Amino acid sequence: MGSASATQSDKDGTQPWYDWDTDVDADGNALTNLRALDTGDLENAAYHDRSQWSTETLTIEVGTDFPSLQEAVYAIPFVPYESVEITIPRGTDLSDEDVVVPQTVLGAGTVSGRGYEHKIRITGDQSNPSNCPVGSIVVAGVNGGIISVDGVEFQRANPYSDDDNGFAAFYTNQARVHNCAFAGGVNGIMSYGSNLEIHQVDFGNGVLEGDGITVKHFGFVNEQRAGSEPPTSGTVGGHAYVATNGWIATVRDTNVPSVPSTLSGEDGLIDYGTTRSGFVTAELAGSESLMRFLGSYQWSGDVHQVKPGKGFVTHSPDGTKYRIRVDNDGNVVTDQL
């Protein structure tokens, strides 16, 4: 911002109704023209210069067309009829950027080779996301088609909400996180009233202090897996999955060799915030789900607890929590928590 300072003198102010005896230093501006002061980042000119409508396919390269990823996403029109492709060249360090993709309504155009759905795509290095570090990304109200984030490594929690996620989608009808990774932060990915697909995400081992995948306010996460794709993986400090007024589905295709998600948490696999939450793991080619948790929890197959010393946590009538587990001899043990 600009600066204004006052120093004592024997002169009057620049207008007759000012009765103080001072000069005012306003960077060369008269008191009647203080709007000319530089206000810095109080208003982002790139955002206010967004076009209303576009019928052309937009191809944008960070570092060439715009110096920052934030300015690149501000180049997305309010209503883009065709696709927007934003690429981050390998080796571009955007770790100091906490990016907000602003509200956008996607038109009904087509995207060559991928169908109409993938209308906005932010692409880094899909083979090695660490070559494209980004501080954090928030998608805020993008509707009408899919917005994809591919091949970036999230560095920290975003500062725009109390949920502290490296990636978050707010009231977005379809977003996709693919071939991404985490290098640090508090919580991983959140769907807040949004429909979110997750493919091949590495949450790291111990780099996140909190939870991995969270749904809130009737959000939905579809953690998909097909063929030889690497699975969702990593170990987080909190829960692997948190369902608070939302639903999480992990799905894999059994028609081809596939490995299920290996995402785990130090505090356990799933944390349910309310009864209006669900967690489903299913094989697309199977006759029935492996597990189904919706209100009253049911399962038709074995339930595997893969971390030694962990088990089921339940509450006694007086509210005391107990963990039920087995020891090395297979004896059932209960631990008061």
3 state SS for 61-128:
EECCCECCHHHHHCCCCCEECCCEEEECCCCCCEEEEEEEECCEECCCCCCCCCCCCEEEEEECCCCC
The rounded distance, in Å, linking the Cα atoms of 127 and 13 is 65
State residue 283's pLDDT score. Answer: 60
For residues 334 and 312, give the distance between their C-alpha atoms in angstroms, rounded to a whole number. 10
> For residue 240, which of 208, 217, 216 has the smallest C-alpha distance?
208
- How many residues can be counted in the chain? 337
**Residue 274 to residue 35: CA distance in whole angstroms:** 51
Q: Supply the DSSP symbol for 41.
A: G
Q: What per-residue string of b and e applies to 274-288 under the rule 16 or more CB within 10 Å gives b?
A: eeebbbbbbbeeeee
Write the DSSP symbol of residue 285: T
**Parallel, antiparallel, or unpaired: how do β-strands 264-265 and 233-236 relate?**
parallel
- The three-state secondary structure class of 124 is coil
| Overall pTM surpassing 0.85 (yes/no) | no
Q: What span, in angstroms and rounded, lies between the C-alpha atoms of 227 and 234?
A: 20
Query: Which of 104, 162, 95, 164 is CA-nearest to residue 124?
Result: 95
Residue 321: per-residue pLDDT: 83
HSE of 37, CA atoms in CB hemisphere, 13 A: 16
Tell me what pLDDT residue 30 has: 52
Give the span between the Cα atoms of 35 and 234, in whole angstroms: 52
pLDDT values of the chain reduced to their tens digit, one per residue, 337 residues: 455 554 444 544 445 555 545 555 555 555 455 445 454 443 466 666 788 877 788 999 999 999 999 999 999 988 887 889 999 999 999 999 999 999 888 765 544 444 445 589 999 999 999 999 999 999 999 988 889 999 999 999 999 888 999 999 999 989 999 999 999 999 999 999 999 999 899 999 999 999 999 999 999 998 876 666 778 899 999 999 998 888 888 776 655 555 667 888 998 888 887 667 777 766 654 433 334 443 334 444 566 666 677 777 777 888 888 888 888 888 999 989 8
Beta bridge partners of 280: 249, 292
Residue 320 C-beta-side C-alpha neighbours within 13 Å: 8
Q: What is the pLDDT of residue 45?
A: 62
